[in-house]
Amino acid sequence: MANLWKMSQHGTKKRKLDRSTEDYMYFDSYSDVTIHEEMIADTVRTNTYRMGIFKNSKSIEGKVVLDVGAGTGVLSLFCAQAGARKVYAVEASSIADQAVRIVKLNQMEDRIEVIKATLETIELPEQVDVIVSEWMGYALLHESMLNSVIFARDKWLKPGGLILPSRADLYIAPINDLVVEGRLNFWSTVKGQYGVDMSCMSDFARKCIMNKDITVNPVTVEDVLSHPCKFAELDLNTVTLEQLRDVRGVFGCQCFGSSSIHAFCVWFTVTFPAEEKALVLSTSPFKPETHWKQAVLYLDDAVDVMQDTKVEGEISLYPSEENSRHICIRVDYVIGEQKKLSKTFSIPDQYLEVK
């Protein structure tokens, strides 16, 4: 699940939110129709989950399923269609009321029970055989919903039970951004058009555009300057809450040709197990676009590179101190012969509600 947010350039110190306020803001953001429309309309996302569930029908048929963060209940319905005996659809936001209606409309109320509560507070009458959840946020870990999946796994999943999806991988690559390049160069063109020299605005524009926000944008294949580098892998059967407090890895790649690096691009895949061939949901710029797009991390200044220029570094993803559901990303990197640089990025905390 990924929500829409409004970018904020304010540099003021934010106060730390208490957990109940964080949770209220998070669940309230899923009470509007827009985010659910966006997720259901994301055919890559929804079809891959549907196929991933059906490919595991042998493990689901006649079994008990827990849907963590069920939303409108679409994954619960897929599980029921795959033969589940019972599905507990847990959803804390008010969209749970709509899930009840959808379940009834599809005549599945005898097998799907919608529970309007937070996962951590529920009590189920039995252990479950399968956990299904669409928990992924921007850059995979924004919103911290994976924490609830792990809680459910440790408390409710039978030994040897199935988790869908079962694995997540994180990738990074340097990119060129011609739109940003054009915006930065714009101020040098004003004099030729209007007779007023505004080239001094370039540095100010660079600070505003190439800031410390995690920018969620689609990246085109042509803008990617190297092969992708996987820097982290999460096995949902074994990953711990402690490990999620700092997901880090190293990366190294070589540039394809002469260009300028404006940013790093981060994306993820999740994998559904299958008897023959595992099914992968990818948010890569090399694959069809999803509503997650990619997370773009702008450098302070563009760096010119040539064929085979090495780009190396370390990246770390961890919860924000102000809001533990929000993610921060720190990148330490070296490009070519330049000195090592570091930059920390965060998700702005003002959400954009589209009514």
pLDDT tens per residue across span 57-82: 999 999 999 999 999 999 999 999 99
What is the rounded distance in angstroms from the CA atom of residue 298 to the CA atom of residue 124? 45
Active site residue: 38, 120, 126, 134, which one?
A: 134
Characterize the bridge pairing of strands 112-115 and 128-132.
unpaired
pLDDT tens per residue across span 92-136: 999 999 999 999 999 999 999 999 999 999 999 999 999 999 999
CB neighbour list of residue 76: distance below 8 Å, 6 or more residues apart = 65, 67, 70, 87, 89, 99, 103, 108, 112, 114, 132
What is the rounded distance in angstroms from the CA atom of residue 96 to the CA atom of residue 114? 7
Q: pLDDT value at position 85?
A: 98
Question: Does the annotation count 233 as an active-site position?
Answer: no
Q: pLDDT value at position 347?
A: 87
Average pLDDT over residues 177-198: 95
Q: What is the pTM of this model?
A: 0.90
**Collapsed DSSP state (helix, strand, coil) of residue 43:** helix
Q: pLDDT value at position 33?
A: 85
Q: pLDDT value at position 348?
A: 74
Active site residue: 61, 113, 126, 143, which one?
A: 143
> Which band of pLDDT confidence, cut at 50, 70 and 90, is reported for residue 241?
very high
Length of the chain equals 355
Average pLDDT over residues 150-169: 98
Q: pLDDT value at position 270?
A: 98
> Which band of pLDDT confidence, cut at 50, 70 and 90, is reported for residue 28?
low
> Which band of pLDDT confidence, cut at 50, 70 and 90, is reported for residue 10?
very low
Q: pLDDT value at position 35?
A: 86
Query: 161 with 240: CB under 8 angstroms?
Result: no
The residue ranking higher by pLDDT, 354 or 83, is 83
pLDDT tens per residue across span 323-332: 888 999 999 9
Residue 153 pLDDT more than 80?
A: yes
Q: pLDDT value at position 34?
A: 87
Q: pLDDT value at position 114?
A: 98
Residue 318 pLDDT more than 70?
A: yes
